Amino acid sequence: MARGSKSAGGSSNMLQWLGLAFILLLADQFTKILIVGYYHLGDSTYVTSFFNVVRVHNTGAAFSFLASAGGWQRWLFTAIGIIAAGVIIWMIRSHRGQKLFCFALACILSGAVGNVIDRLVYGYVVDFLDFHWAGWHFPAFNLADSAITLGAACLILDELMRVRRS
């Protein structure tokens, strides 16, 4: 099916993808509520030799990009997230019959909205997954970030498969 085609499923496919995004968003927000409710900033729980649960506040973007800016970045990243959500919803509507493509967009949508909610409610993004090895810690992240990463990987896979079919 061409990138611009629509499926015969109509709005039901659209609701399926938005429903998936909503479920992922609920999981993201639920885990963050647990972290905020049970952990103070900087608290950490050892889980395995390579993983801890922590509470970290990220005022920046990925890998704390612009975290030390004067506060304006909160509104910039909120605006970017809202615009991205609108574009993603439009893209899902336009391509709702393409399963992998729409799955990827639904994941990215849930993550973008989850982190926008954090910025609006807390003023920062709540991160809590801390993977480490031999003293090196990967930057802490959350389920929203995981959904965005999974979605990006699926977009790459979808494009590779599309090119291969051409």
Residues tagged active-site:
127, 145
Name every residue whose Cβ is closer than 8 Å to that of residue 87 and which is 6 or more positions away in sequence: none
Q: How far apart are CA 166 and CA 22, in angstroms?
A: 33
User: Which three-class secondary structure state does DSSP give residue 51?
Assistant: strand
Instruction: Give the alpha-carbon dihedral of 147, 151, 153, 158, to 10 degrees.
Output: 160
Q: How far apart are CA 29 and CA 53, in angstroms?
A: 16
